[in-house]
Structure 1
Amino acid sequence: MKFAVAISMERSSPNVSMKTVIANVLELARTADEGGFETLWTSEHHTLECTIAPNPFQTLVWLGQHTRRIRLGTGTLAAAYWNPIRLAAEAALCDHLTDGRLEFGIARGSYQYEFDRMNPGVHQREGVGYMKELLPAVQKLWQGDYAHEGHYWNFPSTAAVPKPLQKSPPIWVAARDPGTFDWALSIGANIMSTPLSLPAAEIRVLSEKFEKAVADHPEVPRPRFMMQRRTCVYAKPDDWEVPVRHSMDFGRTFENLMQNIGTVRDGFPEAVPFESVKGKENYDPESIRRNLMFGTPDEVIEKLLDYEAAGVDQYCLGLSFNLPFEQQRQTLRLFIDEVMPFFAERERQRDRQRALSL
C-alpha cells in the first residue's frame, strides 16, 4: 500500500493572511515529497475560504516547481464547471509543466451552494451526467482531432493544445455508488473513494463495490483503488481532543454547504447548529476518534491494516479540515518517521517471500 496526502489552502478567519496559508501549504508539500509520499492531491472549489482552489492546475504547477518526485493530482476537478476543450488543454499543459507528474482526478462536484453560483439551476446530483460526458471527450481530445455532439457540449472537429507529456495522465474518478464504480472501470479509470465518517466496516463495503466492478470488466486492466480519510497522528493517546473538535466543526460547515442551509459571509461558511446536521451519530466524539484516522502511530498502523486487507492500493491522508497547522506538520512527520517504515518493511518481506518462491 502506497501513501498520498490531500492538501488545500484554507482559511477560517480573515485574520489569517494568504501569505501564511501559502507558506504552510508549501512546507507540507515539500515535507511529503522528501518523506516519500507517492501523490499530493489538491481539489477544486470556488467562492469559499475554507478551500481556496479556483484552479487546481495553478496550484499543482506551482508545487511542481518546489518538489522533485511526488506525483501531483487533482483531487478532484468538478466536472460541471468545465468545457472539455479547455480542460483537456489545461491538464495537458500542467502535465508538461510538472514533468509528466499529473494525476487527473475528477468528480461530479459536491456542494449545492457552489453549484448555485457556478452552474445555476443544476442540482448537484446532475453533476454525474456532466462527468460521464466530459471525461470521455477529454480522453479523445488528448488523442487528436475530435468533434463532439452531446447533451451538454457541442463543438466541431478540433484539437486540444498541447497534448499531454504522458501518453495519457492516469485518470481517477471519485466514487461511492456502484454505478459510478462500474462506469469508471468501463473507461479504464482508477477509483478514489472515502468511507466518510462511517465505521471501519464501510471500508469493506467500498472494497466490495470495487471488486465487483473489476470482475464485471475483465476487458480492462485492473485499476488502482485509493481511499481518503481525515487524518491526524499525535504522540500521546490523550491528544485526540483537538482533531476531533476540529473535525466536528468542519463537519457542520460541510453540512451548511451540502444542504445549502447556512450562511456564508465574505467567503467564510458558518457551521450550522448541531440540531440541523444529518447523521447525528457521526458527531459523537468517541465515534469520530474511532472511525477517522486519528491516533498515535501504533493506533494508526492498526487502522491502516484494515485498508490494506481491503485491497486499497493508496491511502490518502486528508489534512485539510481546519486542523491547526502544527498538528498538520506533526501528522506528516510522525507518519513519515513511524508509520510508513512499518509498511515499507512489510513490502520488503513480501518481496523476499516472492523471490524465494520462484
Structure 2
Amino acid sequence: MSYLPVDSARPEPVRVGLIGAGWMGAFHARSLAERIPGATLAAIADPAIEPATKLAAELGVEKVTADAADLFADPAIDAVVIAGPIRFHAPLSIAAARADKHVFCEKPGSTTLEELAEIEAAVAETGVHWQIGFNRRYAADFLAARRDLAAGVVGTPQLLRSLTRDPGNGSIPHAARVPQWTMFLETLIHDFDALNWMNPSAEPVSVHVFADALVEPSFKEAGFIDTAVATIRYSNGAIAVAEANFSALYGYDVRGETFGSAGMVQAGRATETAACRYTADGVGAETPRLNIELFADAYRDELADFAAHVAARRDGTAAPDHGVPVTPGLADARRALALARACIESVQSGAAAGVAGSAPEGTHDGAGSVAR
C-alpha cells in the first residue's frame, strides 16, 4: 500500500520580517511563527542583537540582524511588522514602502501629522499595503458592536465612551522614563480610533482635555500625565468621552459604548471571563493583567488580516471582507493622530482645541442640520 498524492491548494505564506524584538515585538514574533497559517516569520531585526538572536533561536528563525535595512534589501521578505519605539515608526515605514515591502506598523503611525504625510506619500508612490495596529477592531466584542452599529441597532449615535485603565499597584516606579504625551500618543490613541470607528460617517471636530498626575503627583511639574479625560465633539453632533489611567489596581480594563436614538451597544469588560465566584468573602472574578492576555486573539487576528491583504495583492485574489470596515489604514491613523495632537494642544492651552482636517464645529452630516 502507498500513500495517494494530494494537490495542496494552500497558497504560499507571506514572508514577514519583524523590526523590534521587545515586549510587543516578541509577542508578534511568536504569533507569526506559530499561530498564523497565512504568514511565516522570515527574519528579525533589532539593534539589541542579543535578545533578538535569542528570540530567533527560540522560534527557528534563521535570519537575524541589527539593521532593519537588511530586511528592506532582502528579496525573500514580502512584508515587515514594525514594533520598535514610536520615534522610528515613520522613517521605518517610509523606508519599507520605498523598498516595496508591505507594512504593518504598531500605533501610532508617527508622532506628527507631517511625518504621517510623508508615509502617505511613500505608500502612494509604491502602492504597498500599509496597516496600523488598532487591535480593538479585531476583539470579538468590539467587532460585534460595530456590526450592530452598521445594522442600525442604536440609530443615530449621540453619546460615546471609551476607556483604558492600565493595570498597576498604585504607583508608577518608571514614571521618570515615560516620554511626555505617552498618554495621548500611545494609550488613548486606541480609544480615539475606537470612538472614530464606532461613530461612522462622522469626523471629530474639537476636543477639551482635563489631565493630571494623580497617581504620581511628584512628577506633574516635569509634564508627566497618568490620568486624562477627553471630551470630543463630532460633526454629526455626537459627544464622546475618552478616559485613561495608568494604575488600575483591579487589572487591565478596556471598554467602549455607543448610545443612540434607538438603543445602545457596549463592548469590553473588566473581568477576564464571565465566570464569577460567590463565597462568604463576597463576589469575585479574575481580571486580566496584561494587554497580551486581554487582546491575545485580537493581536493575532490583526496580523492574520494583514497577511491576508498582502497575499491578496500578491496572488490577485479578493481581499478579506469582514462585513463592516475593519482593516485600519493611513486614513484611520491620521484621524486618531489628529485627535491625539489636538489633546496635547488642549492640555497646553487649557481650552478646547480644533482637530486638524475636520469640518467646522457644529456641522452635522446626515440630516444636514447645523448645531450653531
Q: TM-score, normalised by structure 1?
A: 0.31
Larger Rg over CA atoms: 2
- Whichever structure has more helix as a proportion of its residues is 1
